[in-house]
Structure formats: C-alpha cells, structure tokens
Amino acid sequence: MPQADENPVTIVLFLDVIAELNKSQKRTQKAFYEFVRKLRTDPSLLGLHVELPTGMKDKGMRSVRITRSCRAVIFRKDRTNIYTILHLDEGHDDAYDWISRHQVTTDMLTNTVRLEDAPSSAQLAQLLADGASVGAHTDLLAPFSDDDLIEFGVPANGVSVLRRAPSKPVAKIMTHLLPEQAQMYVDFALDGYKKEEIAGLLADDRKQSPSYGFTQTESSQQFIDAAGDNQAERDARTMLTSNGTQQQFVVLTDDEDLERLMNAPLAQWRVFLHPTQRSVVDGNYSGPARVTGGAGTGKTVVAMHRARRLAQSLLQQGSDRKVLLTTFTANLANDILSNMKLLCSEKELAHIGVINLDKWLYPFVYRNTKFRVQYNTDDLWEEAKSASSDESVSKLPVDFFIREWEQVILANNVTCLDEYLAVPRRGRGERLVKAQREAVWEVAERYLQLMDEHKEYDQPYAMHVAAKLLDGPQATQKFAFVVVDEGQDFGASAYRLLRSMVDRHANDIFIAGDNHQQLYGNRVSLKQCGIPIAGRSFRLKVNYRTTNEIKTVAETVCRVSGANTVDGIMQAVKDAKNNGRQVSDFSRKKPDELDYSLTGVFDDSAQEESFGDGVSLTHGEWPEALRCKSWNAQFRCVTDWIDKRLSQDSMAKPEGICVIVRDNQHVDDWVDALNSKSTYKALKLDNKTKEVTSKSGIRVATMHRAKGLEFDYVVVPDVDQCPPPSQVRKCVGDSVKLNQLYRQERNLLYVAMTRPRKELLVTAVVANG
C-alpha cells in the first residue's frame, strides 16, 4: 500500500463484514481489532502479509492476512487516505476468487459508493437456462423504461439482462445481484407496484437534499472539511456521507465504534437506515419537526437514531446537557431503553434520558410542590359538581367534567371565566348555554380548591404546574432537546409541558407518531401548544414489519367506518382480500366512505395523513377471518392454526407467537386455556412483564400492551368483544361519544393487526355461526 499522506486515516467497513466477523471465533475478532488499530496508525501495513492478486476487477483491492485462516480484502481509493474493509475470507484462494468477482463503483448521479457483485457468466447462463425451461415470456418490466431502471440503481449493463428474465421467480433471483437500493425498487416493480408509486418513493428519498440521498449535516460537513484542500479526499469523503453509501458502508469514527458494532446483536435497523429515515434523522431543522408513517415503517427506529445524533452533537460541543427521549407508556420506554443500549456508546447514552413522561412528572412535581400526582380524582369531581346550584350541570356525569377540564380548559390554557366563555369547544358533543358554562366554570374552580386541600393534582394539571415551574424558577432543569415517540397519544397538557421542557431553538423538539394508532390522546393542535411543525413534517412509507397482505387488511379494518361490529370487521377483512391492492386505489377514489376524522395531534399540518401511501417489503398469506359457534370452537381453531405454524415453519417458535386480546380478563382466559394444553406454555405480557425473548411460551397480551411490539405470528381472537358491549352501553344516546369509541376501537384493532411479521388470524365467536 502506498504511504499515507497528510490526511487522517479514515476506516470504512462494508456492513457484511460485521456479520462475517460476528460469526468468527473470538481469536479472529481480536486479531481483526488489532489489524484495524494498526491500519489507523500505520496504513503502510509494513510487516503484514499484503498481497496484490492478479486478475482483479478493481485495481485498488488488496488481500491482507489477519490470522492463518482469515484474510481481509481492503480497498484504497486512489490518492486518498480512505481504507475500506470489504470482505473477510477463510483462505488465500477464496479471497482471490472474491476479488475477481467484485468491484467498487462510484455513481456520480446518486453520489453513492457501491460494492458490485458482478454476476459471473456461469451464474447468468444458469439463471437463463433455468428460466428458459419455463417457456415463452414477456418483459416483466415493460411498464418501466431503461432510464427508469437505471434511476432505480440498476447498472446500465444489467438492464437488458433483467428484461430478459424468463419468469418472475428468475427475475427475483436476479435482483439479488443488484445493489441493495436497486434491489428494493426492482422488487416493487416486479410485485406490480405502479411506476408513479415507485417514483413517489424515489422522490421522497431524494426530496430533502440537493442531490440524491445527500445530507449536508453539520457532522458530515465536518467530516468532509477534515480533508482540507485535498480535492480527491474531499470528493471521496463526500461520497461516504451520502445516504446511498450509508446503506452499505459505515465509517468507523473510533475503535470503540467497531467494538460496539461487534458486541451488540446485529439488528438491521442499526446500520441500514432507509435513505428517507436517514435524512429525517440527520436533518437540521429550524424548529420542531415530526415524522409520521404507518405501523412498522420504522418511526421508533428513527426517533432513537435522532436522539443519538442529538446526543452526539452535545458531546461534540462538550456540553453536559441531556436529550429527553420520551414516550407515553412505561413499557415502551423500557423497550426503547434496551434498544438504545445496543445503539449508543456509554458516552452517548449518558447524554440521553429515556423515560416515559409520567415517570418524570411525579418526582418533579413532588420535589417542587409537595403535591402528589393523582390518576383518579373522580371523587373530587363528584364533590365539586354536587355543590352546583344548576341542576342541569350537577346532573352531568363526572366523565363530562374530566373531558371539559382536559380538552377545553387546560388544552386552551383557560385561567378565568371570561376566557372560558370565549373559548371554542370544538369536538365536544354537549352544547352548553351561557348559564351552564358559568356553572361548569364554578365546578372547575371548586375542583381546583379541592385538589389544593388534598395536596394532590390530577395528571394533566400536574403537567400544567410542571410547565409553569420550568418556565419560571426551575428553568435550569430544562433539556437540551426533546424527542417524542408515539406522539399521537399525548394530550395538549403533555405537549405544553414538552414545550416548556426545552428552550425554543433549532432542532428543539422531534416527534414521531401515527394517528391511526392513537389510543389515549385527544384532538390536539401542536401549533396551539407552541410546537409549529409546518414545513418540517416527513412521512415514512416503507413498511419493514408486516406483509403487504396484512398491511392491506389492517388498514381496511381501521378506516372503513362500518367496521364497528363483528360483522363489519369480518367483512372488512374479506373485502381487503378480495379487492387486494385495489383497496388503496379505491380509498383514494371514494373518500366519503373512509373515515379519517381522528385527526389528533397532526391536524394543523397541511400534510394529509392517509393510508394507502406506503409499501411493504414482503408478501405473504392473506390473513384469515373465522367465525366460530362457541368459545371452545374458537379455541380449537386458534390452537389448530398455531400447531400448523409450529409444525410447518421450521423457524417458528412459541415465543414468536402472540394472542392479542381486548382486555385483561381475556388475557387471563387465554393464558389459562393455552396452559391447559400440554404441548406449549403461555406467558402473560402485562404491564409488569417485559417482552423477554429468553422465556419460552406463546405470548398473550392486551391490544394496549402489544403496542410497539412485533411477533412472527399473531392471533386476534374474540373480535366480537370489540368494542366491549359494556362500553357501548355507556355511550347510548351520545353519538359523539359512540363515534369516538368506534374510532378508538378501530385504532386498537389496527395496532393489534399490524404486530405480525408473517401471518395473522382474526376470529370471533358468533352464536349463529
């Protein structure tokens, strides 16, 4: 290798090397660390066995001995000090063979470095021979021009080869020879996605940067600037910072980086962020920003990477301040914390507080006011309303006052009667005349007094108090940045508190969420809470979790407004299957039949949050919907289905299966019933149980608990209990409340039905079959 010149050495890893290294013996791993350290300090590699093989496609490649049974292929881009470790192989001959088949290319159009695995003529001949036996064929990619395919990332000389694929299976095999990015788009094309749909995805991927996949973030700019005036080095570094390159390569910033990559299990998302995800993560925003996307599009992954990136910026500045990464429930915060430990170094983690908002709230409020946060204050409301002289008001249920307090009074920061009389009561069902409003305000004032006497605050009021403290005497306790996951579940008081937890500056607040999974929150205007996101709102469209079939079914159930009864739900599952992918087109054509009315926190954005705009990376079986005559018959159907999966899928394990039900009573019923079968155990996932993969057994969880989790196989039984009849009875005569219940219920079903990676079964007990 030529002697290094004035630029610092940059070491880059092709991501497959990490997987190869993970499989190697500890001895080899240690030798590899040593080699990387040596390469960093002395890139001349003096004293190492470096070989320059003949017959190379790429002149910049060398084979270096790591141990007697392991060789690394490394590549140096001419006139730069950038060394890329491309491959590990067992022996001399294997490494040579590998080198003869690979080349590193740089694509100026997309600013991307790629490792291309040139198909050997023998491979191609075999593929074509296999396909020829299938008989005559048509060009499967006919709707796409050559330029389209090149734009997807297909190398120009590969276009005609792809077009000659004699059958879809052969074409699918061929895509594996393509660069990763192209593979994804060509797969979509072969699966029948339309040109405009793929073009939309491509455009999204490119949108936020001046050229394809490029993010000129502060840190990548610093990385480029470290090359000084050396233009070749600058160009090569620029290529490395592009999104496209980062799909396949990682730049090691220090030795610790490598060890961390090695020590954690290799979850794909840790390294392969989709270009849209990466540009959202790396973006530099002049104020609050948010990302939305359907279930499984990687919003949590993006929120975690964003928190890490902000922590890195604090580290670079030498700041001792922290990023708050928060979410609605304690379970989710725990799950996120476990993943953050895999993603971040200890130093980065020290700059991130992962905590659900309630857990932060209670001690903060108690420390500063000596008041406790009380989650149920129904008795105080009873007492306050019973003192009202207006009978029409004192007769209103406690539930009415709680909603009025949270959704009208606190959400609008109302502090006196005049303000209350003037505030619009949008979204509230009950109409109040002026005298009634005055009486309601009186009840609210009495309620405040009672909280004071009991030295306790309800949760939204405690948030209100905490926000005031942070804007006043406790300003030093603010965070440097706030990142929110599951943002759809936060109410106005929570958003006002989040606003006060961080000063207004660039990148201050980042929110990830999906309205269709809203289970707890109410309609909120982010703008009114001081969090304007207009112009800084992004949507993720690639679904990494569920199959296209499951996604279509879950979306149909969630949005078809008739899916409120067991018949409606079962019919929606069947319709989705019958209409197939046309469902999304259908939805766009007939908006009246769809229900997007739960606009939640995202209502002040110009961007319509809708279904049908995403694509799933995988296909599979259509979900089944079965009606059973009795609970026992349902149980037999479910266990037969589970048994079949366990026997037919060699990878299936009981712990990869979850039965997701409406409430805790059903959880207990299913755990008992499943445990009564000797073939497998069942494990209840409740608020106290973490989703521990080490414990064997089928999981049983409520829909609320299953949020954020994923499994290979999911059963959603007892949908005749959605919504629970007791809750429907409570809404009789109140159409606003009933509609809200139905919408919330469909969101719950959407959450449950989008948990499986592979297959979904939905069942109901319907006495008449």
> Does residue 185 contact residue 197 with C-beta atoms inside 8 Å?
no
295 assigned to a ligand binding site: yes
CB of 370 to ligand ATP, least distance (A): 37
Q: Which stretch binds ligand ATP (CB under 6 A): 122-130, 150-158, 267-275, 603-611?
A: 267-275
CB of 332 to ligand ATP, least distance (A): 8
Q: Which stretch binds ligand ATP (CB under 6 A): 52-60, 81-89, 273-281, 412-420?
A: 273-281
600 assigned to a ligand binding site: no
Q: Which stretch binds ligand ATP (CB under 6 A): 116-124, 143-151, 213-221, 298-306?
A: 298-306
614 assigned to a ligand binding site: no
Interface residue with ligand ATP among 268, 284, 316, 597 (CB under 6 A) is: 268
Question: Which DSSP string corresponds to 628-662?
Answer: ESSHHHHHHHHHHHHHHHHHH-TT--GGGEEEEES
Q: d(Cα 589, Cα 585) in Å, to the nearest integer? A: 6
**Would you count residue 308 as binding ligand ATP (CB under 6 A)?**
no
**Would you count residue 296 as binding ligand ATP (CB under 6 A)?**
yes
- Count CA within 13 A, CB hemisphere, residue 164: 12
**Would you count residue 760 as binding ligand ATP (CB under 6 A)?**
no
**Token pair for residue 311?**
């922590």
**Would you count residue 708 as binding ligand ATP (CB under 6 A)?**
yes
**Would you count residue 596 as binding ligand ATP (CB under 6 A)?**
no
**Would you count residue 131 as binding ligand ATP (CB under 6 A)?**
no
**Would you count residue 328 as binding ligand ATP (CB under 6 A)?**
no
**Would you count residue 356 as binding ligand ATP (CB under 6 A)?**
no
Instruction: Give the residues across from 106 on adjacent strands.
Output: 113
**Would you count residue 244 as binding ligand ATP (CB under 6 A)?**
no
47 assigned to a ligand binding site: no
**Would you count residue 299 as binding ligand ATP (CB under 6 A)?**
yes
**Would you count residue 520 as binding ligand ATP (CB under 6 A)?**
no
Helix (H, G, I), strand (E, B) or coil at 24: coil
**Token pair for residue 170?**
């052969």
CB of 704 to ligand ATP, least distance (A): 13
Q: Which stretch binds ligand ATP (CB under 6 A): 122-130, 265-273, 641-649, 720-728?
A: 265-273
Q: Which stretch binds ligand ATP (CB under 6 A): 26-34, 170-178, 293-301, 606-614?
A: 293-301
CB of 17 to ligand ATP, least distance (A): 18
455 assigned to a ligand binding site: no
Query: Which is closer to ligand ATP, CB of 458 or CB of 710?
Result: 710
Q: Which stretch binds ligand ATP (CB under 6 A): 233-241, 291-299, 527-535, 568-576?
A: 291-299
**Token pair for residue 316?**
């670079």
158 assigned to a ligand binding site: no
> Does residue 507 contact residue 515 with C-beta atoms inside 8 Å?
no
SS (HEC) of 215-242 = CCCHHHHHHHHCCCCCHHHHHHHHHHCE
CB of 339 to ligand ATP, least distance (A): 9
Q: Which residue has the tokens 């149920």?
A: 376
Query: Which is closer to ligand ATP, CB of 158 or CB of 296?
Result: 296
CB of 753 to ligand ATP, least distance (A): 11
CB of 545 to ligand ATP, least distance (A): 4
Query: Which is closer to ligand ATP, CB of 42 or CB of 180?
Result: 180
Could you list the beta-strand ranges (E) of 31-178.
50-51, 61-67, 70-76, 82-89, 102-107, 112-117
Q: d(Cα 748, Cα 761) in Å, to the nearest integer? A: 16
> Does residue 198 contact residue 226 with C-beta atoms inside 8 Å?
no
Query: Which is closer to ligand ATP, CB of 271 or CB of 324?
Result: 271
Question: Which DSSP string corresponds to 273-339?
Answer: --HHHHHHHH---SS-EEEEESTTSSHHHHHHHHHHHHHHHHHHHT----EEEE-SSHHHHHHHHHH
253 assigned to a ligand binding site: no
Q: Would you give the distance in Å from CA 262 to the centre of its chain?
A: 23
CB of 66 to ligand ATP, least distance (A): 29
362 secondary structure, DSSP code = H
353 assigned to a ligand binding site: no
Interface residue with ligand ATP among 175, 300, 459, 584 (CB under 6 A) is: 300
**Would you count residue 277 as binding ligand ATP (CB under 6 A)?**
yes
Widest Cα–Cα separation across the chain: 97
Site for ligand ATP in 408-437 (CB under 6 A): none
**Would you count residue 269 as binding ligand ATP (CB under 6 A)?**
yes
Q: d(Cα 595, Cα 83) in Å, to the nearest integer? A: 54
> Does residue 179 contact residue 105 with C-beta atoms inside 8 Å?
no
Amino acid found at 713: Y
Q: Which stretch binds ligand ATP (CB under 6 A): 73-81, 229-237, 261-269, 591-599?
A: 261-269
Query: Which is closer to ligand ATP, CB of 267 or CB of 534?
Result: 267
- Count CA within 13 A, CB hemisphere, residue 72: 31
Interface residue with ligand ATP among 215, 297, 702, 763 (CB under 6 A) is: 297
Helix (H, G, I), strand (E, B) or coil at 685: strand
Contacts of 712 (CB under 8 A, 6+ apart): 645, 649, 651, 652, 653, 656, 657, 756, 757, 758, 759
**Would you count residue 293 as binding ligand ATP (CB under 6 A)?**
yes
Residue 730's closest CA among 382, 399, 379? 399
Residue 509's closest CA among 488, 536, 539, 549? 536
Strands 711-716 and 756-765: parallel
**Would you count residue 280 as binding ligand ATP (CB under 6 A)?**
no
CB of 449 to ligand ATP, least distance (A): 41
Interface residue with ligand ATP among 545, 581, 662, 737 (CB under 6 A) is: 545
Query: Which is closer to ligand ATP, CB of 240 or CB of 301?
Result: 301
Which residues belong to the annotated binding site for ATP?
A: 293-300
Which residues belong to the annotated binding site?
A: 293-300
Note the residues at the interface with ligand ATP (CB under 6 A). Answer: 267-269, 272-274, 277, 293, 295-301, 514, 517, 544-545, 708, 710, 754
